[in-house]
Chain A
Amino acid sequence: MKVTFPHMGNLSLTAETLLRGIGLEVVVPPPCTKKTLSLGVQHSPEFACLPLKINLGNYLEAYEQGADTALMVGGIGPCRIGYYGAIQQEILRDLGIKMNLIVLEPPDAHPRELWDKIKHLKQVSWRQVVAAIKLTWHKTRSMDLLEEKALILRAKEAKKGSIDSLLSQARTRLQSTDSIPRIKEITRDYLALMDDVALSEEFRPVKIVLVGEIYTVLEPFVNLNLEKHLNSLGVEVLRPLFLSSWINEHLLGGLLNIEGTKRAPGLAKPYLNSFVGGHGRETIGSAVQYAQKGVDGVIQIAPLTCMPEIVAHSVLPSVTEEYGIPALTLYVDEQTGEAGLLTRLEAFVDMIRYRQRRSS
C-alpha cells in the first residue's frame, strides 16, 4: 500500500510525518501547479467547489508516481466535503484508475466504521503510533508558530525575502528531524532569527484579519499567494485558522491552550445564531473577535459557491457595520487570476490607508 493525501498549505509536513510514523509508505503528491488544477478540473463536476477539483488533481498526480491509496477527511454534512470522497471515487472508477480512497469521518451507521479504517492503516505497535502522533503534533505546531510570526513580520521586513528564506530553511529542518527536543530547538532558533530581521523604519502597519473557508485560507496555490501579496502591501495579516488550531479544536476537543477559533461560535451571536457547516460560523465569530482587538479590516476568502461562506458573507456586513471596519469577500475558482486579485487587494488596502489618514 502506497498512501497519498491532498495538499493544503503545510499539511504535507503533518501528513507525511504521521503516515510514515505509523509504518506506511508515503507518496507526497507534487506541489499544486497549473497541471494539478487542469487535471482536476477536467474530470470533476463543473459546479463542484474548487477543493474537490484540486484534491482530485493531487490524487491523479500521486497515482502517476505510484500511489494506490489516498487518505482524506470527510464529514456528515451539511458541507459538501462530506461527499467529496464518494464522488472522487466514482470519478476514478470511470477513469479506470485503481486507487482506493480512505475517508476518515464520523461513522454513519456503526461506531466501528472509523476504527476499522484506522486499524487497516496502522502497521506498527500502538506505542509507535502514539510516538508518531506526538512528533506530528510538534512539527505541525512549530510550523504554524513560525508562519504566524512571518505573517506579521513579512509586512515590515527591510529586505524583501529575508523572512521567507528563514521560513523555508526552518521547514526543511523540521521535515528531516525525528526528535521532539530538536523540533523545539529549531522553533526557538528560528523565531529568534526572525526577530532579528531588519525592519523598515518609516512604517505604519495596516492590520487585517483573514477569515474564511479553511482550504482557501491555508493553501497558497488556491488563494494565489494572498497573504504574501498583503504582506508586500505592508499589511500585517492576522489569521485565526491554522492547521494546529483546527486539530486542537476538532480532534483534541480544544484541550490545548491555543486561541484559534475556540471562542468564535459564541462571538458569532447575535449575528449568526446557528452552526451552518464548514467554517461559516467561525468566519463571523473570528471577524467579531479581531474587530474587538482593533484590526483595520476583514478579508474573507472562500471557494466560489461555498455554501457556509455564502451565509457568512451575507451576515458579515452586520458585523463590520457595527465595528466600523471595511470587509472584502473573495471567491476563488479555477478562473480566478492573480492580477485581478492583486488589484482588488491594492484598492482595499488603499482605502484603509485613506481612512487612517482621514481619522488622524
Chain B
Amino acid sequence: METKTIGIPRALFYYYLFPLWDVFFRELGYQVILAPTTDKRMVDLGIQKAVDEVCYPVKIYYGHVASLLDKVDYLFLPRLISIQRKSYICPKFMGLPDMIRANFSRLPAVIEHTFDGSRRKQGIKYDLEQLGLKLGHEPGAVKRACVKGLIALEEYQKALKQGQNPMTVLDSVKLVCREKRFKVGLLGHGYNIYDPYASMNIIEKLGKLGVETVTAENIDEKAVDQAAKVLPKRLFWTLGHRIVGSAFHLEQSEDIAGIIHVASFGCGPDSMVAELLERFLRRNGQKPFLSLTIDEHTGEAGLDTRLEAFVDMIARRKIS
C-alpha cells in the first residue's frame, strides 16, 4: 500500500505538541509532512485568507495551511478545546477547523478531531486513541502509537524543563549568546516567541545583546502552579496560567534580571495576562518588566530599540 502523507502546520501548537503528532502518525504508517518555516509569502497568504480581526498567530496558521494545500493527502486540523483539566487554550483553537474550512475553498482531505482534556483525568489520551480508531487502524496498533507518541511528548517536555529551547529541539536552530551578561525571563505564547518570523528572532536578538533567555517551558510545572497561587482567581487559560506562574516564579529567582512579556495584538488572554503581570510586578517592584505587543504591522526597528533600551536599563541598574 502506498504511504499516505499528512500535512501539519508549523504554527500554533506545533511548539507544544508536535512530537506527539509526529510519532503517533508515523507509528500508524503515515508520512508526516511539516509546513516550511514561516516566511513572508506564507504570512501574506494567511492575511489574505483570514478576516482582519483574527490575531497574527492564527493568520500565520492560515498561511501554513495554504502552503500545504497541494502537497499532502491529508491535512491534520486538531480542534484543541483543552489539554488540561478545567482549562482552555483560547476560543479560536476551538473553532479553528471550522474557520479554515470556511475560508479555503479547496482543501485536501481533512483529518479533524476534537481534543478535550478538560474533563478527563488522562488528559487528551482518550481523544488520541479515538482519532486512531476513527482513521480505521486496529486497536492494538492505535494503543502502541498512542503510548509511543505520549512518550515522545514527555521526553520533549523533559528536555525543555532541562533548559533546552523548543526551537533547538524541534528545528535544530542554534541559539548563541555571546558574552553572557545576564538572564531574563521571556514569556509569551510559544507561537509568538519561538516562531522566528513572528517574533522577529527575539531570542537571537537578545542573545546578540548578551542576554540569555528562560521561557515558561523551561520551568517546572509545580513551581508555576505554586507561584500562580498569588492570583485572586485561577486563570482558566492553560498558556496564560503558565505565563503568569512563570513570571511570578522568575520574579523570585536571584539570577533573573528582568522579565519580558510578548503578546499578540488583539489576543484575548494576553490582554488580561499582560495587565496582571504589570500590576503585580509593579507593586512588588523587584524586577524590570517589558511588555511587547506584536502583529503583522510591527516594525523590526521599533522592536530593536525597545529591547536595547530594556537591556541598557538593566545593565545600568546592575552597576549602580
Contact = CB atoms under 8 A, between A and B. Distances in A.
B233 A85 contact: yes
Contacts of B276: 87, 90
A33 interface: no
Given A45-B271, A85-B233, A310-B51, A280 B91 contact: yes
A310 B92 contact: yes
Contact of A48 (B79, B99, B275): B275
B98 A108 contact: no
Dominant SS among interface residues on chain B: mixed
Contacts of B103: 314, 317
Contacts of A89: 232
Interface in B54-111: 54-55, 79, 81, 86-92, 94-95, 97-99, 101-103
A48 B95 contact: no
Nearest to A78: B88
B233 A86 contact: yes
Interface string A81-94: 01101110111001
A72 to B, nearest CB: 13
Nearest to A76: B236
Contacts of A79: 91, 268
A348 interface: no
Contacts of A331: 53
Given A271-B102, A277-B94, A310-B51, 7 more contacts: A47-B263, A78-B236, A79-B91, A90-B275, A274-B79, A305-B267, A307-B90
Contact of A90 (B87, B90, B232): B232
Nearest to A105: B233
A358 to B, nearest CB: 26
A310 B56 CA distance: 13
Contact of A278 (B51, B91, B231): B91
15 contacts: A78-B90, A78-B237, A80-B271, A83-B235, A83-B272, A273-B98, A276-B92, A305-B53, A305-B268, A305-B271, A306-B268, A311-B91, A311-B98, A313-B51, A314-B99
A310 B90 CA distance: 12
B268 A80 contact: yes
Interface residues of A, number: 45
Nearest to A308: B91
B53 A280 contact: no
Interface string B224-249: 00000001111111000000000000
A201 B55 CA distance: 48
Contacts of B50: 314
Given A78-B236, A318-B102, A45 B275 contact: yes
Contacts of A317: 102-103
Nearest to B282: A94
Interface in A153-173: none
